[in-house]
Amino acid sequence: METSTAKQSEKGVWKQLRENILETEVWLRTTLKEFLDEFNITQQQLSILRILKDANNEPMSTKQIQALMRDKSSDTSRLVDRLIDKELVRKRKDPNDGRLVQVFIKYEGLRLLARIEDRLEELDLKFELLSEEEAAQLIFLLEKARS
């Protein structure tokens, strides 16, 4: 039979795990934000550019884009408008349904995405203190925790 001290100790471990994951999330978001600030782009805008690139020049509606985003609460229309202001994407009315808009990535968006991708390794270096085996184990454990 477990003692109440052992149960409290277990709860302490779960609390410590939760707090550590939250601290890591804040650290990673801050690190990524600082990296992307150099390119004058946000994480959500980067996500949209990647989604549009993966569409292989096929138009996508903002609804389709939002469905593919990690952060489903993003205001996709506003984010697309900011990318238009930066001349990275364009939109047009859907020829089949004038109520919908179609979004396309522009050449400038593809160029910026390529520049960012070329430098993403800099972010990966933040994890170099882990061995490949430790990194693989951490990936496994994080996926397991989310399942």
Q: What is the pLDDT of residue 74?
A: 72
114 and 46 together in one domain? yes
Q: String of b and e for 10-33 (b: at least 16 CB within 10 Å)? A: eeeeeeeeeeeeeeeeeeeeeebe
- Which domain, by its residues, includes 106? 40-146
Q: What is the pLDDT of residue 10?
A: 62
Q: Is 62 exposed, middle or buried (0-12, 13-18, 19+ CB in 10 A)?
A: buried
CATH number for position 69: 1.10.10.10
86 and 128 together in one domain? yes
Q: What is the pLDDT of residue 1?
A: 53
Q: What is the pLDDT of residue 100?
A: 83
Q: Name the stretches of the chain with pLDDT < 50.
A: none
Say which residues have a Cβ less than 8 Å from residue 21's Cβ, sequence separation at least 6. Answer: 145
Q: Count of domains in the chain?
A: 2
82 and 12 together in one domain? no
62 and 120 together in one domain? yes
Q: What is the pLDDT of residue 102?
A: 92
pLDDT tens digits, 45-55: 999 999 999 99
